[in-house]
Amino acid sequence: MPQTITVSAGALVEAAEREVETLSAEEAIKLHGRDDVLLVDIRDIRELQREGRVPGAFHCPRGMLEFWIDPATHYHKPQFAQDKRFVFFCAGGLRSALAAQTAQRMGLKPVAHIRGGFGAWRDAGGPIEPAKPKA
């Protein structure tokens, strides 16, 4: 029997964006390098290898986010225990909306995400470390 999906991915993203702060790429670029802000790149490692990275961004694969945030897990990362503003981004701004919503619901604050993600960051002239060729 086929499944009937009652809530679309787009509806989930729209709901997340009503709950979390959404920054333009230009606003996010102005935050780059500040000591009180942690940019969190939730893209898959293959995306980073293919497209490059935002210098200084902390890489947290989306699949590990909840475990790396939660100090009760042995996966916890100290970056998420800092007193900072957490700005999430992915490739296009959809996964990061959901990630920011999850982080906020878990108690991490303040959080935001970048509308348009890494693509918007790149197109707005944000700094990027180019992908390294595979050896």
pLDDT tens across 110-119, in order?
Answer: 999 999 999 9
Which residues lie closer than 8 Å to 60 by C-beta, 6 or more apart? 40, 41, 42, 68, 77, 79
pLDDT of amino acid 135: 65
Domain boundaries, the chain: 19-123
pLDDT tens figures, 47-65:
999 999 999 999 999 999 9
Architecture in CATH of 19-123: 3-Layer(aba) Sandwich (3.40)
The reported pTM is 0.95
- Residue 112 has what pLDDT? 98
